[in-house]
């Protein structure tokens, strides 16, 4: 059981649920552009309607209240609240003001993510994260949002999954904007992104009373198969935080979280990227590392690890039939929620909030008109048992299920379903899945 203050919530993101991509002065985002090329999305769909939450937000908040969550994490679309001339768009702001007021009516605490990947296209055209002024634009946007939501929101998350922004957006090019960076550009862009975070923290602290701030990276923890082996534990920990100069360095943990929480890039960064990393000043590092309240983290899956005969770590294979979600990267590794928080707390020493955790299932509407998804309930329970366990060792303050609804799953489109609520995209009907009622019970009981 979690203590009575534990925050049970769920998460969504603007482009994935809102639709109404050109209403009320919203300007195009990089995802509006990216999805125009049908080949970029597995099922050729886009987020132009998605869950239609821009229109149906009152219904959505009612569903949240029925679920019994104390908190709702959603993101603001930069391109909805700032126009092409970098001026505030009041109509767009009104949407979020109304959403927050509605949440307040039901006593649900908003956790606002400022950047969940939908950069205004006009800013991308000016260079996106490679533009050295991007952090000033982000600071201005943060100022506009925090002032508009004054008195309604005090919990902010600056940036969601920087790893995915860089690895998928600028290396694999499976995500918008799909612009490939050289290593030099990548390191430069990562540094600019961290400065966006830093400048936003500054503004939030200035504008918001009793603010809490964090950023929400993602990671895939290493889980020792032999839980009592201390050498193995240490090797898993070291590997988790190690910065390696391979294809996946933009997807690693410490390149973002070390500067943010420890005040500098990992020690070997300067060696490994000698001659290609940007100039990094003391002022930059101070800006980036202002104190945060929480370590947010998105966790879905992990890898089991053993030691080989030379005492080096080896990844266990996922055997055929290993329990997994309906998306290739989501193996069911519940200890992710034990080891992940443990590693992060050991290094960064702040309370942990799980900002996302969820299961993708091949959900169908049954003959009885309901959606039976025992695999999702099983996933949530297994993961929460591990989180409960670690919460006795390190401070864990909350858990946000991803996601409230099925929604637009980026390059996979609308076919991949993570929701507690089934979305009939044809009719807009929302059907609560079995897992919705199971999660509700868990919340009521304060745990499993």
The residue among 220 and 277 lying less far from ligand NOJ, judged by its C-beta, is: 220
Which of 107-110's residues contact partners 24+ apart within 8 Å by CB, and which partners? Answer: 107/70, 108/61, 108/64, 108/65, 108/69, 108/70, 108/71, 108/72, 109/7, 109/9, 109/70, 109/71, 109/72, 109/155, 110/71, 110/72, 110/73, 110/74, 110/152, 110/153, 110/155
Angle between helix 374-390 and helix 336-348 axes, rounded to 10 deg: 40
Active site annotation includes 102: no
Q: Kindly state the smallest distance separating residue 392's Cβ from ligand NOJ, in Å.
A: 27
| Bond from prior residue into 177 cis (ω within 30 degrees of 0) | yes
CB neighbourhood size of 393 (10 A): 12
Contact 60, 98 (CB under 8 A): no
111 binds ligand NOJ (CB under 6 A): no
| Active-site annotation holder among 124, 161, 335, 409 | 161
* Residues 132-161 close enough to bind ligand NOJ by CB under 6 A: 160-161
Phi, psi angle pair for 369, to nearest 5°: 85, 0
Question: Could you tell me how many residues of this chain bind ligand NOJ (CB under 6 A)?
Answer: 9
13 binds ligand NOJ (CB under 6 A): yes
| Active-site annotation holder among 18, 124, 335, 356 | 356
* Residues 63-92 close enough to bind ligand NOJ by CB under 6 A: none
The residue among 188 and 417 lying less far from ligand NOJ, judged by its C-beta, is: 417
Q: Kindly state the smallest distance separating residue 246's Cβ from ligand NOJ, in Å.
A: 22
* Residues 252-311 close enough to bind ligand NOJ by CB under 6 A: 298
- CA 12/CA 23 separation, integer angstroms: 20
Q: Kindly state the smallest distance separating residue 328's Cβ from ligand NOJ, in Å.
A: 11
* Nearest residue to 155 via CA among 225, 216, 83: 216
Q: Which of 46, 124, 258, 409 binds ligand NOJ (CB under 6 A)?
A: 409
Q: Which tokens go with 55?
A: 């229109």
34 binds ligand NOJ (CB under 6 A): no
The residue among 16 and 435 lying less far from ligand NOJ, judged by its C-beta, is: 16
- CA 219/CA 87 separation, integer angstroms: 35
Active site annotation includes 356: yes
Q: Kindly state the smallest distance separating residue 402's Cβ from ligand NOJ, in Å.
A: 5
The residue among 418 and 422 lying less far from ligand NOJ, judged by its C-beta, is: 418
> For the CA atoms of the chain, what is the radius of gyration?
21
Q: Kindly state the smallest distance separating residue 174's Cβ from ligand NOJ, in Å.
A: 12
356 binds ligand NOJ (CB under 6 A): yes
- DSSP tally for the chain: helices H, then strands E: 16, 14
Q: Kindly state the smallest distance separating residue 217's Cβ from ligand NOJ, in Å.
A: 10
Sheet holding 71-75, edge to edge: 212-216, 155-160, 109-115, 71-75, 7-11, 396-402, 352-357, 295-299, 218-219
Q: Kindly state the smallest distance separating residue 418's Cβ from ligand NOJ, in Å.
A: 6
The residue among 60 and 161 lying less far from ligand NOJ, judged by its C-beta, is: 161
Contact string 309-338 vs ligand NOJ (x = CB under 6 A)? ------------------------------
The residue among 146 and 160 lying less far from ligand NOJ, judged by its C-beta, is: 160
What count of Cα atoms within 13 Å lies in the side-chain half-sphere of residue 183?
12
- CA 302/CA 342 separation, integer angstroms: 14
Q: Which of 241, 273, 299, 402 binds ligand NOJ (CB under 6 A)?
A: 402
Beta strands per DSSP E along 53-132 = 71-75, 109-115
The residue among 73 and 277 lying less far from ligand NOJ, judged by its C-beta, is: 73
Give the residue numbers annotated as catalytic, written as ranges. 161, 356
The residues binding ligand NOJ (CB under 6 A) are 13, 16, 160-161, 298, 356, 402, 409, 418
């Amino acid at each position: 059981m979690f203590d009575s203050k534990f925050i049970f919530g769920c998460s969504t993101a603007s482009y994935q649920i809102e639709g109404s991509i050109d209403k009320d002065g919203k300007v195009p985002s990089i995802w509006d552009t990216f999805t125009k090329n049908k080949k970029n999305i597995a099922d050729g769909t886009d987020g132009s309607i998605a869950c239609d939450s821009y229109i149906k937000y009152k219904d959505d908040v009612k569903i949240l209240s029925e679920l019994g969550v104390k908190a709702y994490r959603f993101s603001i679309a930069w391109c909805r609240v700032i126009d092409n001339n970098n001026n505030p768009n009041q109509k767009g702001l009104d949407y979020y003001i109304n959403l927050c007021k509605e949440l307040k009516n039901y006593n649900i605490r908003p956790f606002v993510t400022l950047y969940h990947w939908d950069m205004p296209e006009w800013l991308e055209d000016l260079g996106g994260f490679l533009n050295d002024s991007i952090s000033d634009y982000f600071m201005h946007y943060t100022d506009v949002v925090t002032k508009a939501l004054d008195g309604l929101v005090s919990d902010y998350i600056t940036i969601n999954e920087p790893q995915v922004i860089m690895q998928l957006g600028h290396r694999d090019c499976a995500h918008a904007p799909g612009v490939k960076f050289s290593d030099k550009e990548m390191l430069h862009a990562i540094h600019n992104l961290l400065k966006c975070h830093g400048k936003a923290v500054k503004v939030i602290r200035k504008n918001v009373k009793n603010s809490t701030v964090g950023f929400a990276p993602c990671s895939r923890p290493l889980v020792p198969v032999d839980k009592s082996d201390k050498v193995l534990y240490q090797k898993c920990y070291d590997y988790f935080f190690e910065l390696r100069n391979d294809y996946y360095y933009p997807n690693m943990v410490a390149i973002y979280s070390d500067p943010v929480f420890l005040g500098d890039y990992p020690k070997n960064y300067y060696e490994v990227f000698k001659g290609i990393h940007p100039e990094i000043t003391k002022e930059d590092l101070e800006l980036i590392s202002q104190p945060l309240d929480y370590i947010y983290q998105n966790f879905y899956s992990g890898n089991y690890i053993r030691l080989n005969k030379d005492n080096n770590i080896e990844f266990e294979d996922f055997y055929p039939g290993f329990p997994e979600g309906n998306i290739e990267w989501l193996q069911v590794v519940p200890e992710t929620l034990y080891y992940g928080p443990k590693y992060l707390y050991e290094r960064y020493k702040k309370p942990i909030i799980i900002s996302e955790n969820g299961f993708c299932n091949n959900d169908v509407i049954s003959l009885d008109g309901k959606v039976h998804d025992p695999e999702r309930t099983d996933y949530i329970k297994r993961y929460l048992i591990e989180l409960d366990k670690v919460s006795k060792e390190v401070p864990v303050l909350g858990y946000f299920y991803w996601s409230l609804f099925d929604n637009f799953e980026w390059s996979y489109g609308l076919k991949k379903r993570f929701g507690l609520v089934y979305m009939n995209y044809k009719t807009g009907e929302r059907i609560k899945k079995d897992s919705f009622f199971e999660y509700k019970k868990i919340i009521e009981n304060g745990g499993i």
